[in-house]
Chains A and B, each alone.
Chain A
Amino acid sequence: MRYGETGFNLEIDLSRGNIERVENDPVDTELYLGGLGTNAKIMWDRVPPEVDAFSPDNLLIFSAGLLCGTPAVGCNRTIVTTISPQTKLLAFSMMGGFWAPELKYAGYDKVIIRGKSPSLVYLYINNNKVEIRDASHLQGKGSNETTDLLRQEVKDSNAQVAAIGMAGENRVYFASIEQERSSASRAGIGAVMGDKGLKAIVVRGTKDINVARPAEFHGLCSEVLQYIKKRENNPIPGVMPILAGLGSPQEMKIHDEKWHTESFMWGNSRVRRKDFWTEEVAKEWTGTLENTRTRLISCYNCPMKCGGTISIPGLPTYMMKCFSKLTYTMAAFSDLDFGLKIAQRATEYGVDGFSTPQVMAFALELYENGILTDDDLPELPSDNEGRFYYLLDKIVRREGIGDVLANGTYWAAKEIGKGAEEYAHNNIKKIEQLPLKLSMLNPIYFLMYCTGEKINITQIEGQFPQMPFPKREQREEFVKDWIQVPDEKFKQYFLDWELRGENSMPFYPTVEMCCDIVDWQEKMHYIDDALGMCAGLSSFPLKPPYHIHNYPKLISAGAGIDMDEETLSQAVKRYRTLVRAINIRRGMRREDEKPPENHWKKRFPELEKELLDTYYKFKGWNEEGIPTKESLEELSLDYVSEDFLKRGILTANGDSPAAEEEKE
């Protein structure tokens, strides 16, 4: 019997209309866990680097995590993996919600989609019944609208629906896959779904998920629940309210937006408004949220309330979470009322709440600077809010200039030319980043921005405080119950970290300490992505209920794979390296690994070089960021090193050709 997982994948070929239920290999689960780990293995094996995002040979994999569907609290994430049209690298966005557990109860770990349907279809999965059905009546429909219609069509309000809106259908490079309160948004995976002619996947399941050692597993889950209760009653003192508790940032709950509105940038990530948050603004925005937010909501089997149901008079109800609350508002220099209203339309269209506002602000900046003209933007409204609605509609329909902007700021700037590249200034690896522009280089964040392959800072940061605490007593208090550290040395790193003086940034934490800190933070995210655990209860907040010490126990008792901290760390390192290998095979190199040039005012090229050199070595990568033959073999990834040698990515002595040239 398989535990935690079901042991079966669905293989769907949309070109031929073929559906197969295929048993997956338990050995792969031991090596790569599940979710992202086994997705990466499939992508390596079956999607060679010549295949681009919109090829029928690109796969679109919807995977439940290894422990989704078990009572592990907050374990509900769907990991969607494909090749991104925007970055041309591996995309592995995730969504919470209710979809992944339902897939497990239907009897499947993954849905692996290949090919392209000649007409728009949806996939209906109801336990053993799996059908490809016509979706022509859903063309152009919004994501929530589609969900509602499909639930009526299959006559089951318990069915869970992952759907794309018009943006996905029109292959907008930052189109999302929406699932009511959640979405997998980054890197344009919704565009791949649209390219395949797949409007939605409806899933319903009524089968059991087994765990290996029931009493032990239940005990561990109960401990997690108790810890959540304790943490909720004891927020961490001395940090921003949104960083004090658990969950993803509690944007739907908290009214105080001083930190975001005054520290993050407005417009096209340009303007910092240091005195923005006045009493008057606070009062107005609080009123806006109180009057529209009807309920705080959670994902499957989670006591947190990170999402909100938003009902604005005259508009359909939708659900929101996290920082999309402010991204539209701030990009348009507007207010919360506007932000919540346009987000309703954006959710139905199915677009990423980070990239979309920046693309629109970028376009308006080009217009203000004469690079885009009235010919490009006919009948452009005069007010900022009107312009945002105008651009949103153009982009998702790929009408006129919208067709160019729909490829994101990097590709749009290239196509527009006339110096537009200068305005696409907030990207890493071709993807729009959080609008932050800061002063002093933070060496930990430097490494995370450079090497994070989810290419989103929130998907790599979390376990170590973002900033030093001013007083030593505060730091001592903080480390007292810091049980999550993998090693006691992390407490010392933090205790000695000062705001000013010798032990301050950028030279403290030291290069070696930074490597340890970044590796730990990244590792926790990768574990979550394989297990299907929400980062909000694990890798993202400080002092979370899940950590490196209880994860091996949960995997052992839940999935029946014997693990300790070392074997778990080794498995994570294996599939993390495999993710990098996929991207290396697609051409990613050291030169791609850099934060936006203007991210910090004070830069330290020598230190930055040393940081990256040392971190690469620490990770077992050569100076180009390519995993070395030795490190690949140590992780039983011999097949990767063989492929690298064959393709000339590595040479027999383990170097990359580019590095050799430098030596000569």
Chain B
Amino acid sequence: MGEKKKKIIKTIRVDVDKCNGCRACEVICSAFHAEPKYSSNNPARARVRVIRHPLRDIYVPVYAGEYAPAECMGRDQYTINGKEYEECAFCRASCPSRDAFKEPDSGLPLKCDMCESDPDLTEPMCVQWCLNDALIYEEREEEVEEDAVAQQEEVEVGLEALANKYGLQNVMDAVARMSKKD
């Protein structure tokens, strides 16, 4: 087994009950990520979106995560405290089913980077601009197996190269055959 290493996990705690629905997080996110910095703003470019249905009292700030090439097979509905939420209200993906988390001009996916910059900010801008404390920044330490992570990454790089050469289906078939032999 590999050596255990400490890793900082950056977290934004979202308290939907404290959200007043103002979208300041969207405003400042898009301004911070403008080039040059703060030169323009446009919530459609923000990496955080408040999913809002004011008349249903639904306000959920969601952060842009990984890009998803395909939409989900069906979407579920959740009822929480008597309010109905679509699954998408909690989903971070930039995906074909919705406009959120795509550059409005190019359609390229957006992803929250926790405002990583040089020099480092004390907190991401959205947290700084949320005076209602619906967004709280936290850092916590997690122990991870450094080698295991590295090995996993190497395997993935290798498989990706094989997939590019022979096609993903052939690689998957080969892996399936190999796993049956054991």
Binding site for B on A (CB under 8 A): 69-71, 73, 98, 105, 144, 147-148, 157-158, 180-181, 205-211, 214-215, 217-218, 225, 228-229, 232, 294-305, 309, 311, 316-319
- Given A98-B23, A211-B40, A228-B131, 6 other A-B residues pairs in contact with their CB atoms under 8 A: A144-B55, A208-B34, A295-B20, A298-B20, A303-B132, A317-B56
A405 to nearest B CB, angstroms? Answer: 30
Q: List 16 A-B contacts (CB under 8 A).
A: A71-B31, A71-B38, A105-B43, A148-B55, A207-B44, A208-B45, A210-B39, A211-B40, A214-B36, A214-B37, A295-B20, A295-B21, A295-B59, A297-B20, A301-B24, A302-B22
Determine if B111 is an interface residue (Cβ-Cβ < 8 Å). no
A residues less than 8 Å from B104 (CB atoms):
206-207
B69 is an interface residue with CB less than 8 A from chain A = no
B21 touches A211 (CB 8 A): no
Q: Which residues of B contact A208 (CB under 8 A)?
A: 34, 40-42, 45
Instruction: Give per-residue flags for B2-22: 1 if the beta carbon is below 8 A from chain A beta carbons, else 0.
Output: 000000000000000000111
Task: Among A105, A144, A148, A294, point to the contact of B44 (Cβ < 8 A).
Answer: A105
If A207-B104, A301-B24 touch, does A295 touch B57 (CB 8 Å cutoff)? yes
- B119 close to A (CB within 8 Å): no
Chain B residues contacting A218 (CB-CB under 8 Å) are 31, 37-38
Interfacial chain B residues near A206, Cβ < 8 Å: 42, 44, 99, 104
The residues of B that contact A302 with a CB separation of less than 8 Å are: 22, 24
A residues less than 8 Å from B31 (CB atoms):
71, 218
| Given the contacts A207-B104, A298-B20, A299-B22, A309 and B54 also touching, CB distance less than 8 Å | yes
CB distance from A311 to the nearest CB of B (A): 7
Q: Is the CB of A297 within 8 A of B54?
A: yes
Closest chain A CB from B115 CB (angstroms): 13
CB pair A211 B27 closer than 8 Å: no
Total cross-chain contacts (CB, 8 A):
99
B28 touches A71 (CB 8 A): yes
A296 touches B38 (CB 8 A): no
Q: Is the CB of A214 within 8 A of B39?
A: yes
Our pick among B38, B41, B45 for the contact of A69 (Cβ within 8 Å) is B41
A interface, over-half SS: loop
The verdict on B85 contacting chain A, using a C-beta distance below 8 Å, is: no
A228–B132 Cα distance when bound, in Å, is 12
Q: A214-B36, A317-B55 are in contact. Are A298 and B129 (CB under 8 A)?
A: no
CA of A22 to CA of B44, assembled, Å: 24
| Pair B57/A225 contact, Cβ less than 8 Å | no
The distance from the CB of A302 to the nearest CB of chain B, in whole angstroms, is 5
B40 with A311: CB separation less than 8 A:
no
Within the complex, the shortest CB–CB distance from A455 to chain B, in Å, comes to: 30
Question: What residue of chain B has the Cβ atom nearest to residue A228's Cβ?
Answer: B131
Q: How far is the CB of A291 from chain B (nearest CB, A)?
A: 14
Are A311 and B57 neighbours in the complex by a CB distance under 8 Å? yes
Chain A residues near B39 (CB, 8 Å)? 210-211, 214
Q: Which residues from A are CB-within-8-Å of B23?
A: 98, 300-301
Are B57 and A317 touching (Cβ within 8 A)? yes
Q: A348 CB to closest chain B CB, in angstroms?
A: 11
Q: Nearest B residue to A318 by beta-carbon distance?
A: B55
Q: Which residues does chain A contribute within 8 Å of B55, judged by CB atoms?
A: 144, 147-148, 180, 316-318
CA distance A218 to B147 in the complex (A): 43
Q: How far is the CA of A105 from the CA of B27 in the complex (A)?
A: 12
- Whole-angstrom CA separation of A218 from B41 in the bound complex: 11
Q: Which of the residues B28, B37, B41, B131 comes within 8 Å of A209, measured between beta carbons? A: B41
Contacts of A232 in B (CB 8 A): 131
Q: Which of A210, A316, A318 has the most CB of B within 10 A?
A: A210
Q: How far is the CB of B58 from chain A (nearest CB, A)?
A: 10
Cα A304 to Cα B24 in complex, Å, equals: 11
User: For A105, A147, A181, A301, which residue has the most chain B Cβ atoms within 10 angstroms?
Assistant: A301
Nearest 8 Cβ contacts at the A-B interface: A206-B44, A303-B131, A214-B38, A206-B104, A208-B40, A218-B38, A298-B22, A214-B39
Inter-chain CA distance A185–B54, complex, in Å, is 20
How many Å from the CB of B92 to the closest CB on chain A? Answer: 17
CB B89 to nearest CB in A, in angstroms, measures 10
Residues of B within 8 A of A317 (CB): 55-57
Find chain A residues with CB under 8 A from B38 CB: 71, 211, 214-215, 217-218
Task: Report the nearest B residue to A69, measured CB to CB.
Answer: B41
- Residues of A within 8 Å of B40, CB to CB, are 208-211
Q: Please measure, in the bound complex, the distance between the C-alpha atom of A319 and the C-alpha atom of B56, giving whole angstroms.
A: 11
C-alpha gap A580/B38 in the complex (Å)? 38
Report the separation of the CA atoms of residues A210 and B130 in the bound assembly, to the nearest whole angstrom.
22
Q: How far is the CA of A71 from the CA of B20 in the complex (A)?
A: 17
From A207, A300, A305, B132 is in contact (CB under 8 Å) with: A305
Q: Which of B103-155 contact A (CB under 8 A)?
A: 104, 129-132
Inter-chain contacts of B131 with A (CB < 8 A)? 225, 228-229, 232, 303
Given the interface pairs A180-B55, A181-B54, A297-B54, the reply to whether A305 lies near B37 with Cβ below 8 Å is no
Q: Assess whether A297 is in contact with B41, with CB atoms less than 8 Å apart.
A: no
| Minimum Cβ distance to chain A for residue B177 (Å) | 46
Check A298/B21 contact, CB under 8 A, given A210-B39, A217-B38.
yes
Give the chain A neighbours of B22 by CB distance below 8 A. Answer: 298-303
